[in-house]
Structure 1
Amino acid sequence: MTAQSQNNTMVTTQVGGTVHIRCYTHIHGDELVTWIKKDEDILLTAGDQVYSSETRYSVAHGRHQGLWELSIREVKLTDAGLYECQLATYPFTSYFFTLKVVEARAVIHGGPEVHIHTGNRLRLHCSVQQATEPPVFIFWFHNNSMVNYEAKRPLEVIVSHHYSSTLVINNVTWCDAGSYSCEPYNAVPSNVTVHVLEGSISCQYKAEVRDTREPRGPPRVPAQRSAGLRNPNQPGLRDAARAQLWISQQQCAIKALQTGLANVVPATAAPEKCEMEM
Structure 2
Amino acid sequence: MLLAALLCFARLGMSAGGGELTSEATDTTVESVVNTTEATENMGQPYFDNSTKRDYTAAVGQPAYMHCRVKNLADRAVSWIRKRDLHILTVGVHTYSSDARFAALHTDGSDEWTLRVAPAQPRDSGGYECQVSTEPKISLSFRLTVVVSKAEILSGPELFVRAGSDINLTCIARHAPDPPSFIYWYRGPHVVNYAQRGGISVETEQRTRTSRLLIARASPRDSGNYTCAPSSSDSASVVVHVVSGERPAAMQSRAIKMAPSLTTILLSTLTFKEARTLFNIIQYFISLENIITKSSLFYRFYTAISISR
Structure 1 length normalisation: TM-score? 0.61
Residue 81 of structure 1: aligned partner: 126
Cα gap change, 1:100/1:6 in structure 2, threshold over 3 Å: closer, same or farther? farther
Contact 2:59–2:148, Cα closer than 8 Å, also in 1:
yes
Task: Kindly state the Cα deviation for residue 42 of structure 1 after the two structures are TM-superposed.
Answer: 2.4
Residue 161 of structure 1: aligned partner: 205
Contact 1:36–1:83, Cα closer than 8 Å, also in 2:
yes
Residue 54 of structure 1: aligned partner: 99
Rounded to whole Å, the distance in 2 between the matches of 1:150 and 1:52 is: 48
Q: Which has the larger radius of gyration?
A: 2
User: Which consecutive residues of structure 1, in runs of 5 or more, have no partner in the other structure?
Assistant: 210-278
User: What letter is aligned with 1:122?
Assistant: I
Residue 32 of structure 1: aligned partner: 77
Residue 180 of structure 2: aligned partner: 135
Residue 234 of structure 2: aligned partner: 188
CA deviation digits over 1:17-46, x for unaligned, max 9?
Answer: 232212233266552111112213322111
Residue 221 of structure 2: aligned partner: 175
Rounded to whole Å, the distance in 1 between the matches of 2:85 and 2:79 is: 15
SS in 1 for 2:180: coil
Cα gap change, 1:7/1:184 in structure 2, threshold over 3 Å: closer, same or farther? closer
User: What letter is aligned with 1:189?
Assistant: S
Structure number with greater CO (CA < 8 Å, separation at least 6) is: 1
Task: Kindly state the Cα deviation for residue 70 of structure 1 after the two structures are TM-superposed.
Answer: 1.5
CA deviation digits over 1:152-186, x for unaligned, max 9?
Answer: 34452414333333222111112223432212233
Task: Kindly state the Cα deviation for residue 4 of structure 1 after the two structures are TM-superposed.
Answer: 7.5
Cα gap change, 1:149/1:42 in structure 2, threshold over 3 Å: closer, same or farther? farther
User: Which consecutive residues of structure 2, in runs of 5 or more, have no partner in the other structure?
Assistant: 1-46, 255-309
Task: Kindly state the Cα deviation for residue 119 of structure 1 after the two structures are TM-superposed.
Answer: 0.7
Task: Kindly state the Cα deviation for residue 15 of structure 1 after the two structures are TM-superposed.
Answer: 1.9
Please, what is the CA RMSD of the aligned residues? 3.2
Residue 66 of structure 1: aligned partner: 111
Task: Kindly state the Cα deviation for residue 101 of structure 1 after the two structures are TM-superposed.
Answer: 0.8
SS in 2 for 1:135: coil
Structure 2 length normalisation: TM-score? 0.55
Contact 1:30–1:63, Cα closer than 8 Å, also in 2:
no
SS in 2 for 1:186: coil
SS in 1 for 2:84: helix
Give the number of the structure whose residues are more often helix, by fraction.
2
Task: Kindly state the Cα deviation for residue 56 of structure 1 after the two structures are TM-superposed.
Answer: 3.1
Structure 2 matches for 1:1-278, cutoff 5 A? Answer: 3=48, 5=50, 9-26=54-71, 31-61=76-106, 66-142=111-187, 144-149=188-193, 151-154=195-198, 156-162=200-206, 163-199=209-245
Rounded to whole Å, the distance in 2 between the matches of 1:152 and 1:61 is: 47
Contact 1:7–1:97, Cα closer than 8 Å, also in 2:
no
Rounded to whole Å, the distance in 2 between the matches of 1:164 and 1:38 is: 36
User: What letter is aligned with 1:175?
Assistant: R
Rounded to whole Å, the distance in 2 between the matches of 1:19 and 1:62 is: 18
Rounded to whole Å, the distance in 1 between the matches of 2:189 and 2:104 is: 41
